[in-house]
Amino acid sequence: MSPHGIVVLASFVIAVLLLIVVDRLLRPGLRGLLEDVTALPPATEFYLRAFLLVIVLVVLAAVLGAQHADVKDGAHFMEYVWSVANGLQDVFQNLMIVLLVYAALITVLMASLRRKH
Amino acid sequence: MSNEHYLIVSYFVFALVSLALGVAAYRVLRRPFAAIAEAVAGLRGVMLRRTLALSLALAAVLGFLSVSYVDCNRGYDQIVKDRSLMDEINRQQLQHAGNWIVFAVLAWGFMVVVLLAIWRRKKQQEGSGDQARSGGIH
């Protein structure tokens, strides 16, 4: 496998692990919150699926579009690490933006539905 | 496969893959969204569902189209010679398709907030109507 292939594969694996961690951390709380606020089970399902879809697409898009620093044959270990880190910057940045927008969305949802209880 | 064939095939294959991403996103959201649309708008919920399908497919195609070979300021011959440029453009097309689908899904998330608020009001009106009727009977 070429050095560039190794870097892309490593970035992809780290991005998938990141996705799993984010999903595992946020999903149970999000489900409880949505069930409490919406009182309509399909709405809970819609927002949970939208959440998963959004984080998967944004992370995969960032991995695809990441600009990896050029790594030559026989490069040192840390050169691979720097190249992967360079690519992961976009992944983390886009994921953070999407999580903030999603948090804003849930805040609007709570503000518009909670006061009617 | 010559570079020119690769350019033609990859362009259309990635256009289809982008569209398929939009359709896949719609299929993930279709069932819960249909239930919400039906609860809010009854039979007219079909229109909302079709709008969701159309908007996600359009977002995917828009993302694909937003990356163009014309923008890289190279002649056709130069583009055909450089296969790594084609791979780069294909990757960018998929990336933009994914990003546009994300924008569309988040926008629909805000739309669903409005739909849920309407549904809640409708339920409250139905509840108060039932109370008034039962009060009238007593």
Say yes or no for a CB contact (<8 Å) between A105 and B113.
yes
- pLDDT at residue number A117: 46
Interface of B with A in 24-83 (CB under 8 A): 25, 28-29, 31-36, 39
Question: A69 pLDDT band (50/70/90 cuts)?
Answer: low
Q: Tell if the CB–CB gap between A43 and B32 is shorter than 8 Å.
A: yes
- pLDDT tens for chain B, residues 1 to 138: 788 899 999 999 999 999 999 999 999 999 999 999 988 887 777 888 999 999 999 999 999 999 888 877 788 888 888 888 888 899 999 999 999 999 999 999 999 999 898 888 888 888 777 777 776 655
Q: What is residue B73's predicted lDDT score, i.e. its pLDDT?
A: 78
Residue from the list B102, B109, B124 with its beta carbon closest to the beta carbon of A105? B109
Mean pLDDT of A37-56: 92
Domain count, chain A: 1
Over residues A2-44, the pLDDT tens digits come to 888 888 899 999 999 999 999 999 999 999 989 988 888 999 9
The residue of A4, A31, A40, A117 whose CB has the most chain B CBs within 10 angstroms, and thus the best one to mutate to test that interface, is: A40
Angle of helix A41-65 relative to helix B3-41, nearest 10 degrees? 160
Res A112 pLDDT > 90: no
Distance from CA of B128 to the nearest CA of A (A): 14
Q: Which residues of A touch B122 (CB under 8 A)?
A: none
Per-position DSSP letters for A58-80, written without gaps between them: HHHHHHHH--PPP--TT--HHHH
Q: Which domain holds residue A65?
A: 3-114
Candidate from A39, A45, A58 with C-beta closest to B32: A45
Q: How far is A97 from chain B (nearest CA, A)?
A: 11
Phi (first) and psi of residue B114, to 5 degrees: -65, -45
B25 vs A87: which has the higher pLDDT: B25
Residue A107: pLDDT above 70?
Answer: yes
3-state secondary structure of A47: helix
Among all chains, which residue has been given the structure tokens 């991005």? Answer: A15
The torsion region of residue B137 among left (phi > 0), alpha (psi -120 to 50) and beta comes to: alpha
Share of chain A above pLDDT 70, in %: 96
Backbone torsions φ then ψ of A106, nearest 5 degrees: -70, -35
